[in-house]
Structure 1
Amino acid sequence: MQEGVMEDVIRGSQASWLKQLRTLTSRSFTNMSRDLNYYWLRIIIYIVMAICLGTIYYDVGTSYTAIQARASCGGFVSGFMTFMSIGGFPSFIEEMKVFTLERQNGHYGVAAYIISNFLSSMPFLLAVSWASASITYWMVKFRPGFSYFAFFALNLYGGVSVIESLMMIISALVPNFLMGLILGAGVIGIMMLTSGFFRLLPELPKIFWRYPVSYIVYGSWGLKGGYKNDLIGLEFEPMMPGQPKLTGEYIITEMMGLSLNHSKWLDLAMIFVLLFAYRLTFFVVLKVKEAAAPYIRVAYTRFTVKRLERRASFRKTLAMASMSKRHNPPHPMAIQEGLSSPMPY
């Protein structure tokens, strides 16, 4: 006789964490490369927008009106050009469906998924930022020098990456595409309002909007760093002829109300700190959602049952079923056939 073998249930993947990371990164990069709507179409749109921006602010110069023009160009780059990253939300929704299914089967961990997504998307986001920056920077003719251009491109890359992370958090929270777009657009709109362009940072209401909101959004850090990168060291024509020229330092401190106590590189570093914080938040959201999923299903089932019980048709169906059981009790076949003795074999 063949003996039965009891097998233990294996929870989680048997592959090492590094193997999970390599496999997920390779698969995610392949999917992003093959999907035209994931990044390639967005790269084209960014290039077109960069050309439009460059032609509008072409050779902006250092006149008095150029001060506002440079600030407006910087505000558009740190605000609206990063806002266009919301276009990747449909792909995030589909990706979250695949992740949820594979995570339930225990194929890989949450940390491996988040890091692999970041690594696989990095080349495309760098291509987006550097292609857009190279067109805009040289057409507008900001300050010459590779270090200034590199800061401009990295600043744009940081902003786009933060928005990508934000939209991934939203894709894990909302149930459908439409709600995600509405919520994402609202959150990014608040970020733009508190960045210091539409209203100067010192003029924001101190409670809540200045502290802490302006410190936890990427726009304020990106805009401050962009102003320092572009204006420090330049001189602009005065509003009235014969007056002394306006230095970039004077414009930043007196006209924009910003401080020069720290370097532009610290502003750039803070964007990447926020990027790490957003990815960490994404990790926490996925873990909490995973832990709360059984309780949510039970609560949803109870809610559905109670809602059905309140419907008249449902109550009527239950009443009819109950009456049917009372008046038509099941009988043995012998009684139903009118037989007084058991059926012969």
Structure 2
Amino acid sequence: MCTCMLPVIMAPTTMELHDGGAIMEKSRLGNWHSRGISKGEKRRLSIGIEILTQPHILLLDEPTSGLDSAAAFFVISSLTSIAHNGRIVLCSIHQLSSEVFNLFDDLVLLAAGETVYFGERTNAIKFFADAGFPCPTRKNPPEHFLRCVSPEFDNVLSLMRSKNVNDTPSSWNSLVNMTTEETKWNLINSFKNSMHSANVREKIREIKLRKEAVIERAYDTSTLKQLCTLTHRSFLNMTRDIGYYWLRILFYILVSVCAGFLYLNVGTSNNAILPRSKCDGFIYGFMTFLCIGGMPFFLEELKVFEGERFGRRYGEAIYVLSSFISSLPFVVAISLTSGTILYHMVNFHPGFSHYCYFCINLFCSISVTEGSMLVVAALVSNQLLAIVTAAGVSVLMLMPSNVARRITDIPKFFWRYPMSYISYIAWSIEGQYKNDFVGLEFEPLIPGDRKIKGEVILKEILGIQTDYSKWWDVGVLVLLLISYRVLFYLALKHRDRASSILRTTMSE
């Protein structure tokens, strides 16, 4: 549960109100691989989270949907207690029992965007009776109200008549000779001419004449506490869900072992020049594709974020920063495990500094790739489409690198300028080429000739410039990492606007 907007001290009455959730204490929500609480319990939990933030106005869309009669009665009773303590509770409910219906204070009936009734619940039955549609004896009033305004009942009647079924329910006798459309407009016109409508208009007029009052929060949470809370919660989710990072760590290890055996002790012979470059391209080019496996989990987290942002519990910047911090231990684990396995099995350039650079470069590459995946997840909400888009972005970043062709040989338009400069895979591979080849000497093509220096191979065979240090490549990766996080922030900030523009464009 997110505590970003919880008050520091909660009143005893508030604590007593939520004792009904004690049965779910220490219970896990569950996910795709572990069973948790039921759908009804999840609904009650979501309502409880909203109640704990103590909002001045609580808007609930079908809070009793999927609940049994006892659970529905408990939920509405709790909401009634909150309403009687000075807060406004608005619920939209399609079907409810008479016991739950009697807990409400006011009732609004809508049909096709028109107001059928708006007033106290206790006066609704009398209003329908005065309009010529009395509620039959021993019938649930909400069911009678729906029967009068819902066009679905007309479809049922027409189907029954087409099947020559004449035993219409006795409670329908007063309406059987009148369509729902006629009943609905009779009720709408009756309401417009009733005292209930006049009372509503008078209340609206009084509200308009009042001076605007700014409702301030009774409590506020510091930015640091929000960041710590979100980071802790996100880290717990990543730890508990084996599919978020643990499976990916396992896959990275398996792929690293396979690549290690494929390029085992590649050596420094003249035949090892091409395999070394291909190994570097494989590591940074294809292993980053495994980041796409986190897309479903990114989308699930964004759904939670959307709901909590709508409640103004925290901002986009806090969420972006907390998601990055919480993922750091897992990305470091991936980099160290995969980097250690590959470095020793392939037998890259010896030296602890070269090993450290290899792991740091791999860490930056994976972090930048995850940043690009988050940007895609923020812009594309459909899971399948998001995975396809993320794969397309990865391929687009792979093409202007040295994996397929030397950067100096690719077309200048678009591919070299600007794609080769914004491709994080190109910078990762270039840095690793320098880290591996600079300082090494390879056997000559003709025995007895001078050994071939790694710097010569970089310039003449791989087309890599050695005018600047390999750490400049890492610096560019860090800059790209920050840039993608900023893009992620902007995508979250303007997500609704971008989605509406996209939908409008596609519809046209």
**Could you say which TM-score interval applies, normalised by the shorter chain?**
0.7 to 0.9
Unpaired runs of 5+ residues, structure 2, are 1-85, 88-211
Which of these residues, 275, 278, 281, is aligned with residue 487 of structure 2? 281
Q: Deviation string for 1:23-42 (max 9, x for gaps)?
A: 10010001100000000011
Residue 471 of structure 2 corresponds to residue 265 of structure 1: yes
Structure 1 residue identity aligned to 2:311 = N
Q: Once structures 1 and 2 are overlaid, which stretch shifts more, 284-293 or 84-93?
A: 284-293
Residue 260 of structure 2 corresponds to residue 54 of structure 1: yes
Counterpart CA distance in 2 for 1:216 and 1:45 is 27
Query: Which residue in the other structure is 1:96 paired with?
Result: 302
Counterpart CA distance in 2 for 1:107 and 1:150 is 40
| SS of residue matched to 1:190 | helix
Q: Deviation string for 1:319-339 (max 9, x for gaps)?
A: xxxxxxxxxxxxxxxxxxxxx
Residue 233 of structure 2 corresponds to residue 27 of structure 1: yes
| 1:239 CA displacement | 2.1
Query: Which residue in the other structure is 1:157 paired with?
Result: 363
Size of the alignment, in residue pairs? 298
Q: Deviation string for 1:202-260 (max 9, x for gaps)?
A: 01111111011110111111111101100011111122323322100000011111111
Matches within 5 A, 1:127-276: 127-276=333-482
Counterpart CA distance in 2 for 1:22 and 1:90 is 24
RMSD: 2.3
Structure 2 residue identity aligned to 1:91 = F
Is the CA contact 1:252–1:259 (under 8 Å) kept in the aligned structure 2?
A: yes
Query: Which residue in the other structure is 1:323 paired with?
Result: none
Counterpart CA distance in 2 for 1:166 and 1:120 is 17
Unpaired runs of 5+ residues, structure 1, are 308-345
Counterpart CA distance in 1 for 2:478 and 2:503 is 39
Is the CA contact 1:92–1:171 (under 8 Å) kept in the aligned structure 2?
A: yes
Structure 1 residue identity aligned to 2:414 = F
Query: Which residue in the other structure is 2:276 paired with?
Result: 70
Counterpart CA distance in 1 for 2:218 and 2:274 is 57
Which of these residues, 320, 325, 342, is aligned with residue 114 of structure 1? 320
Is the CA contact 2:256–2:338 (under 8 Å) kept in the aligned structure 1?
A: yes
Counterpart CA distance in 2 for 1:153 and 1:181 is 27
Structure 2 residue identity aligned to 1:115 = L
Counterpart CA distance in 2 for 1:292 and 1:264 is 38
Structure 2 residue identity aligned to 1:233 = G
Counterpart CA distance in 2 for 1:103 and 1:31 is 19
Structure 2 residue identity aligned to 1:189 = V
Normalising to structure 1: TM-score of the pair? Answer: 0.82
Is the CA contact 2:430–2:464 (under 8 Å) kept in the aligned structure 1?
A: yes
Is the CA contact 1:12–1:106 (under 8 Å) kept in the aligned structure 2?
A: no
Query: Which residue in the other structure is 1:311 paired with?
Result: none
| 1:292 CA displacement | 5.8
Q: Once structures 1 and 2 are overlaid, which stretch shifts more, 123-132 or 6-15?
A: 6-15
| 1:92 CA displacement | 0.4
Counterpart CA distance in 1 for 2:328 and 2:503 is 39
Query: Which residue in the other structure is 2:68 paired with?
Result: none
The change in CA–CA distance for 1:137 and 1:8 in structure 2 (over 3 A counts) is: same
Counterpart CA distance in 2 for 1:168 and 1:209 is 24
Larger of the two Rg values belongs to structure: 2
Flag the structure with higher helix content.
1
Structure 1 residue identity aligned to 2:225 = K
